[in-house]
């Protein structure tokens, strides 16, 4: 299996990180393949929602300190095609971490292991998060004299209480999945055997809704975050009105009236 696998079934894309012996530490190959997976999700109109997870009880321990970080600092030269691609296009890292790249499609994180450093930063780019008990989450870059520049200094203070976010950013400490749930950073904490079924149930619900409405709602919520209310409401209208003119917007109410399941085509 590839270090990052990608499959689509019933409008749901599943992206799996597959380097469990290294706790899915992101090496150059994983960065490139993950960036490619996000691009595929955005380009495929058949994909309505995505799930990001790991294999064998792992999620992501961040960047590979022995491979990726020396490449970025210039301490090492690229040793293969993957390192060469990153050297030629540093934006691939931000793309892989969902920092400067928008899938335009909801992403659900199914967290079956620790999410540290870059792993935690990927979570901040996801929309819905489900984890198992006893996993740790945090950004520890400050302990190694590195800035968590994958979006954490911007997103964490917005996605959890400011004081707690600053504590985690400045100390490099981690929190448990239960504490992350209590802070509102996670949606659910479920037993390990229920992780994928819970994530899939959420994905199936989203995939069954009007895809154009889902994209517009997500885009509006993200674009309006932090804006003054009047400005945000005007922007919301710009996202909402075009959806009303679609075939799906006619199909939804018609199906409700006819007491049947709607058939959405993204038109």
- Residues annotated as catalytic are 121, 141
Question: Coil, strand or helix: which one is 79?
Answer: coil
Cα separation of 114 and 58, whole Å?
Answer: 7
Beta bridge partners of 107: 50
- Contacting residues for 154 by C-beta, under 8 A, at least 6 apart: none
Cα separation of 226 and 162, whole Å?
Answer: 14
Cα separation of 17 and 191, whole Å?
Answer: 20
Helix (H) or strand (E) holding 17: strand 12-17
Tally of CA atoms within 13 A in the half-sphere of 239 that contains its CB = 20
The end-to-end CA distance of the chain, in Å, is: 35
Residue 180: count of CB within 10 angstroms of its CB? 25
- Contacting residues for 99 by C-beta, under 8 A, at least 6 apart: 121, 125, 150, 151
């Amino acid at each position: 299996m590839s270090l990052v696998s990608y499959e689509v079934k019933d409008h749901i894309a599943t992206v799996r990180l597959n380097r469990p012996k290294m706790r899915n530490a992101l090496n150059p190959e994983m960065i490139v393949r993950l960036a490619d997976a996000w691009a595929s999700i955005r380009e495929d109109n058949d994909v309505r929602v995505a799930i990001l997870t790991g294999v064998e009880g792992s999620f992501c321990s961040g960047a590979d300190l022995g491979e990726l970080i020396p490449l970025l600092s210039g301490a090492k030269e690229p040793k293969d095609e993957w390192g060469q691609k990153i050297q030629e296009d540093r934006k691939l890292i931000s793309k892989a971490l969902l920092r400067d790249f928008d899938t335009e499609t909801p992403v659900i994180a199914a967290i079956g292991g620790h999410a540290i450093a870059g792993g935690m930063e990927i979570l901040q780019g996801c929309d819905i998060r489900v984890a198992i008990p006893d996993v740790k989450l945090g950004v520890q870059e400050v302990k190694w004299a590195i800035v968590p520049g994958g979006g954490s200094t911007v997103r964490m203070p917005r996605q959890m209480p400011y004081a707690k976010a600053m504590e985690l950013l400045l100390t490099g400490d981690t929190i448990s999945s239960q504490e992350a749930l209590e802070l509102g950073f996670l949606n659910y904490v479920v037993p390990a055997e229920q992780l994928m079924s819970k994530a899939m149930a959420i994905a199936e619900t989203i995939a069954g809704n009007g895809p154009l409405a889902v994209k517009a709602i997500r885009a509006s919520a993200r674009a309006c975050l932090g804006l003054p209310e009047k400005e945000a409401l005007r922007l919301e209208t710009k996202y909402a009105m075009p959806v009303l003119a679609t075939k799906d917007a006619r199909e939804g109410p018609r199906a409700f009236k006819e007491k049947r399941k709607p058939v959405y085509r993204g038109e």
